[in-house]
Structures are given as C-alpha cells and as structure tokens.
Structure 1
Amino acid sequence: MDNTFHYAFPAIRGVQAGREYYVSMCPLRLIPKIFLFDEEELTPELRSQRTLNKARIPEMARYITEHPDGYVFSALTASVDADLEFEPVSQENDRLGVLRIPMSGTFIINDGQHRRAAIEAALNLNPKLADESIAVVFFSDIGLARSQQMFADLNRYAIRPSTSISLLYDHRDKAAELTRRLVLEAEPFRDLVEMERSTLSARSRRLFTLSAIYQATNALLVDATDDLEAGLSTAKAFWEEVAKQLPEWSQVRRGQIPASEVRQDLIHSHAVVLNAIGKSGAALLREAPKDWKKRLKALSKIDWSRNSPTWAGRAVVGGRLSKATQNVILTANYIKKSMDLELSPEDRRIEDAFQRGDYERST
C-alpha cells in the first residue's frame, strides 16, 4: 500500500466464494462521513442500490433516539473501490488484524442504506450516540456488475416477518402488549388465535390471527386513554359481548364445528370484519356508553354468510374478502346502521359513493 492517508479498522478476515471479506466495528460518527449511497438521479441500470426512501428515515431515527438502551441494528455491507490491505496480528492468528483502506477510496453501501441515513439523522438528534458502533462487512469492489449482483443476492432470500410474529415479539408497543394479554385472557380468543402467521391455512384449527385482533382492538380503543389496564378491561368486555352474538366462535372452541368450516362459510372471524366490528364498537361506546351491550345484540341478526348479497362490494370484492380501507369502512357502515349509529361525514361520503356504484360489487 502506498503512503496515502488511510482508515485503519480492527477487523476479522473471512472468505466467501473464494473472495476475502472483512468484518469490523465502526463508530457511528464515521458512518455518514465515509459511507455513500448512489445518487438518486442515476438510472436504475447504472446504480448498485435502490433509491433511498426518505419517508422511512424519521421513524428509524426515532427508534434509535427513543430507545438508546435497547435499539438493535444489523450490520452494514459495503464495497470499497480501492486496494485493501489486511495486517494480521500474528502469523499464528492470521484471521484477526487491522484492515487499512485508503481515504481516497469510495465506500458504497450494498445493504443498509436506510440504516446509514437513520444513523445520520439520529446523530443530529442525539450527538452522544457518536461513540457507539455498528458492525460493517467490507468487500473489495470489482465493478458495478458485482455490486449489483451483491445487492440482488443479499436481498434474494430476505423475507419480512409476518405482522403477527412481529407483534408477538414486540415489547415496546403497548397496543401489542394489550393484544397479547387479550388473546390469553378473553374467553372468545383463548386457544383460537394464530400467534405466528398473519394468514390461516385452509386446515388451520385457529379462527383468528393475532394481527387481525390487534388491528380490530386498536380500532375499538381509538378514543381510549393510554391506561393499559383500563383499555384491556374495555376490550375484554366488548369482545366477550360480541362473542355472545356470534355463537359459532364458542362452538369452534368447544370442538362442535371446525374452524375451517366457519372461515369458509361465514365472514365474521376474518380481519376485515373484525376491524369493522372494532370501528363500530368505538362509535357504539362513544354514543351509547350505558346501553351498548343491548344495542350490540344487533350483530346476532346480521346474515354473516360469505355469499350474502349484503357483503358484495363491502367486505367481498371479486369473490374474495378485501382488507382495503374502504372495504373496512363500508363493512363498518352496515354494522353501524344495524345498531342505529350515525355515520361520520367521511363514512357517509364513502357510503354514498358505494350506493352510486362507484365500487365493485361483484362476488
């Protein structure tokens, strides 16, 4: 290596596909200074990364600054268009040493550009984070084609975890904690909730998904305070009363009918309807706090059959249940009217558009 200025990183040397790579710990203060991502104005075929989604950055930065004792970021992966020199600490230990990289080299992030931008934003909010570190995997850059292939390979098998399992393991979200306790303590949900997956197979013995209960309960408690115990009490009382009007739920729990049959023939255990019941419940608790249980009995008189014309275009579109926002609102509108609840101006606008035939009604 020549006598130009260089960065020196303590590193571990490894080999993948016959090529050396290096793993190091880099102080956060250096991340914005030395790691770059491709300019957005370049066309996709001339880049080695996707463009930066700036809308994601504030939330990721808040995650770091609001959880300084508990945030977790995985390693960055970067290519360097310079000759890398690795100096082992000894002949006996030639995997551990110092990686020297010329400062004239360009660092391109192959994986982690949003983490890099979030770190920069977080440092602006909390400079005390500067001396913390993040793992970095360095590769020697051998051209655009290789960098593009690295991006494709790194993301080829990346699978986003299901919403249900993310909620199950999220101990920062109070609403997630409330939902976890709800499905364990409320009789209608006990032993009937799929905790890991956000979709149910045709043969599943579960009737609900954790993500669906989470969304529906959030809709129900939209006007509630941050008191977790009070919210849990309200949610338990509400869903237990709902279950009294929908006898199939308890029949599944007692093993009298299979969950798959209920999901196939009826719609009241599906996410769109649960969300709609939650939204309707929020309005019911707000407008009729004293006699909401009595008015909730209207649920037992609704035809919940999947093939009922009632749900064409509301919950069912093209023969399939739809969780789109407008479908949740249209389904909630029907439930609200069955309980003699007023529609909000926005709900009325969507309902009028539906009545005019602006939305697809085919089943």
Structure 2
Amino acid sequence: MDATFSYNFPAIRGLQAGNEYFVAMCPLRIIPKIFLFDEEEIPPEHRAQRILNKARIPEMTNYIVENQKDYVFSAITASIDGEVEFLPFNNDQSSKDIGQLRIALDARFLINDGQHRRAAIEEALKISPELGNETISVVFFHDEGLKKSQQIFSDLNRHAVNTTSSIGILYDHRDQISMVTKDIISTTPLLSRYTDKERVSLSKNSPKILALNHIYNTNLKLLSKSKGDSITDVEEKFLRQFWSVLCDSIVEWNLVFKKELNPRDLRAHFIVGHGVFLEAIGLVGHYLHLFNENDWISYINSLSKIDWHRSNTDDWLGRAFNQNGRIQKTSYTIQLTAIKIKQLINLPLTESEQTLENKFFQGVV
C-alpha cells in the first residue's frame, strides 16, 4: 500500500479470538474527518444502533472545553471496511507488534463505541482548536463489508454495567454541590455513620438509613439547583445548617443513632427511612429558605412532632406509599408528601401546590 495514499498511525497490534486488531493514537483534529456521520454512507441495518442522543453532546463538549487540563476520554472502537496493512518497526520478538498501521484513504470507518465522544470532540474543536493536537486512542477492527459491526456493537455493550448515581456523586470532584454534600455527610455524625455511599436504594436488611444520591438530590431541591450549578457561600452555609437541624429533629433517626431502633425496622415502619421523605423535605426546605429566612429552624424543629409511621395512612397513603404499602418515589409523590408536611407544620401552600392537592382529593391525578 502506498503510504502517500493512506492514513498512517503508530499502533500496537493485538489478537482476540484469533483475529488481529490495532490500537492507535489519533490526533483529535482528524477524528471528525475520518469518522464521518453520513446516513447515506452507513448501511441501513447499522443506522438504528448509532442514532445520536443530541442532548448529550453539549454536556460532553463543555466537559472537554472547561477541563482542558484534566479531562479524560476512553477509547473509541471502530470497524474498518477497506485495505489495511500493519508494518512492524522491527521483527524482534519483543517488539514485532509495535509498528505503523496503514489504512487506505478510500476505506470506510464505522464507530462501534464512541459516537457521542466523536460528536463532542468535533464541537469542542470548533470552540478550542488548540485541542486538535491532543490524542485519543482508537481500537480498530478490520471488518470487510462491515459484516461484523453489529455483533461487535452488541458484544461491547453486553456486559456494560452503569455505575449508580451515588457512586457518580462520590467520585465527582468537579460539581460543587457534590463536594459540599460529601463534606456535610463526613462532618455530621449521624449521616457519616448511616449513609450508603454506593447504592441508590437500600435493601431491607441494610445497616444504613440514607443513600448518598438522596441527600444530593435533596440539596438540589433545597437550593432549586441543577447538577453542575455553582452555589454561593451563603447557600453552602444554609445547607450545612439545614442538615444539622434536620438530623436533630427526626426522632426516629436519633433512635437508630442511639441503637434503640434498627435501620431495618425504621424502613419497615416509618417513611423517614426513604428517599421520598428526604426529597420532599428538600422542597419544604427550599420554601422556608425563600420565605421564612429568619425562622426556618423552628419549622424544621417542629418535624419532631409529626407521626411518620406508615400506619398513619390518613397522612401518607397515596403520597409516600400506595395501597399495597409500597413506598413510591416519583416527582408527583414527592410533591404530595411535601404538601402534607407543609400542612402539618402550618405552612401555606403555593397556588400550584393547592391545585395539585385539590386534584389529589378529587382523585384526578
């Protein structure tokens, strides 16, 4: 193959299932050029699996542009339909799989894994062209006619397991609210002892009573923020004080802390052991932060007088749990639970809350 009429990459050759594959370092500037996304060039049987979720692209693009000193992208995996040649730098046994990969200029490339990364790189280069000389690893499989690409796509995703949102928060060192949430947990004795930092839902026998993602989501609601938003020193101070007051005000949590009630019984008999309660409290806390800035602590303290027992069906049936007694956490049930809490501590409902409450009693919603 004539090097003048080919793509040339330094690469490492590997072997899987008896077939060669190659790992190459590709400059970011050429990624959008060789990996075209042209519906007319992709066989119909391959298109459906590669439909872009365009809503993901801006977030991924911003991640690269805003973190140019420490962003990380995993490898792109692609199939090559065309002539391929690997030239070892030498024939020594120890280095015969290190060399140059040549791919004909008329070859077709089909991304098996990484289509969103490719699109984000393209957009990031428009904003920061200086990123063009940086590299990303690409794993190439030679696949004449792209006959194996569907199976490659299936195999790559067969054993993929998404991390839980709690793990995502735990490992996130960029999001300010994640950082504050983790610090609040570590510095609050009750939260430190009884927060599960890995799971998003707790088993009936879990020794924990809260999940990290529920505390994080509650903080978002307390401040009416979204993931990635910045917060002021005043807002951070409010979060820290809120959790201190809340932990002192939930009698059942303190019974667990004093070993007078176990977490299993807490979850089985009280709604305060579930995410629907926490996130509802987040909505109530946000209202207090806006409209009762000077006396919100007294309202949170009054939570200690509320009957949180699941046998209290007058207050919580249809809100925190359904007719079968199963806890239900949806945007709707969180709002209904928050409404009931506001009523029980003598806070007025907003117009939209009153409308939702009326529909609830009328059985419309």
Range 136-145 or range 269-278, more displaced: 136-145
Residue 226 of structure 1: CA displacement?
4.9
DSSP 3-state at the match of 1:213: helix
Residue 100 of structure 1: CA displacement?
0.3
1:312 paired to 2:306: no
Distance 1:236 1:33, change over 3 A: same
Separation of aligned partners in 1, 2:49 and 2:292: 54
Separation of aligned partners in 2, 1:144 and 1:346: 55
- Could you say what the CA RMSD is over the residues aligned between the two structures, in angstroms? 2.3
**Equivalent AA in structure 2 for residue 293 of structure 1:** I
1:269 paired to 2:277: no
Provide the residue aligned with 1:55 in structure 2: 55
Residue 306 of structure 1: CA displacement?
2.5
Range 171-180 or range 283-292, more displaced: 283-292
**Equivalent AA in structure 1 for residue 99 of structure 2:** G
Preserved CA contact (<8 Å) 1:38 1:48: no
Provide the residue aligned with 1:281 in structure 2: 285
Contiguous gaps of at least 5 residues in structure 2: none
DSSP 3-state at the match of 1:80: strand
DSSP 3-state at the match of 1:151: helix
Preserved CA contact (<8 Å) 1:47 1:144: no
**Equivalent AA in structure 2 for residue 349 of structure 1:** T
Separation of aligned partners in 2, 1:41 and 1:288: 61
| Higher fraction of helix | 2
Separation of aligned partners in 2, 1:149 and 1:275: 42
Provide the residue aligned with 1:109 in structure 2: 111
DSSP 3-state at the match of 1:257: coil
**Equivalent AA in structure 1 for residue 181 of structure 2:** T
Distance 1:40 1:201, change over 3 A: farther
1:353 corresponds to which of 352, 355, 359: 359
Separation of aligned partners in 2, 1:71 and 1:269: 37
Distance 1:3 1:10, change over 3 A: closer
Distance 1:48 1:244, change over 3 A: closer
Preserved CA contact (<8 Å) 2:50 2:115: no
Separation of aligned partners in 2, 1:87 and 1:41: 29
Range 339-348 or range 29-38, more displaced: 339-348
Cα deviation 1:107-154 (Å, max 9, x = unaligned): 100000000000001111111111111000000114444110100110
Residue 307 of structure 1: CA displacement?
3.9
Preserved CA contact (<8 Å) 1:184 1:190: yes
Residue 271 of structure 1: CA displacement?
1.1
**Equivalent AA in structure 2 for residue 91 of structure 1:** N
Separation of aligned partners in 2, 1:339 and 1:295: 7
Provide the residue aligned with 2:206 in structure 1: 204
Contiguous gaps of at least 5 residues in structure 1: none
Cα deviation 1:327-359 (Å, max 9, x = unaligned): 111111111122222323332332222222123
DSSP 3-state at the match of 1:191: helix
Provide the residue aligned with 2:327 in structure 1: 321
Separation of aligned partners in 2, 1:329 and 1:19: 56
Distance 1:177 1:98, change over 3 A: same
1:163 paired to 2:165: yes
**Equivalent AA in structure 1 for residue 270 of structure 2:** L
Separation of aligned partners in 2, 1:127 and 1:19: 37
Range 311-320 or range 268-277, more displaced: 311-320
DSSP 3-state at the match of 2:71: coil
**Equivalent AA in structure 2 for residue 275 of structure 1:** E
Provide the residue aligned with 1:25 in structure 2: 25
Cα deviation 1:184-228 (Å, max 9, x = unaligned): 1123312110112222122211110111111112211338x9556
Separation of aligned partners in 1, 2:351 and 2:259: 43
Within 5 Å, which residues of 2 pair with 1:60-99? Answer: 60-92=60-92, 93-99=95-101
DSSP 3-state at the match of 2:39: coil
Range 156-165 or range 172-181, more displaced: 156-165
Distance 1:167 1:158, change over 3 A: same
1:6 paired to 2:6: yes
Using the aligned pairs only, state the percent identity: 45
Preserved CA contact (<8 Å) 2:184 2:240: yes
Cα deviation 1:205-258 (Å, max 9, x = unaligned): 1110111111112211338x9556543432232223223332111121222221
TM-score by length of 2: 0.91
Residue 50 of structure 1: CA displacement?
3.1
Distance 1:249 1:41, change over 3 A: farther
Runs (4+) of structure 1 moved beyond 6 Å? 40-44
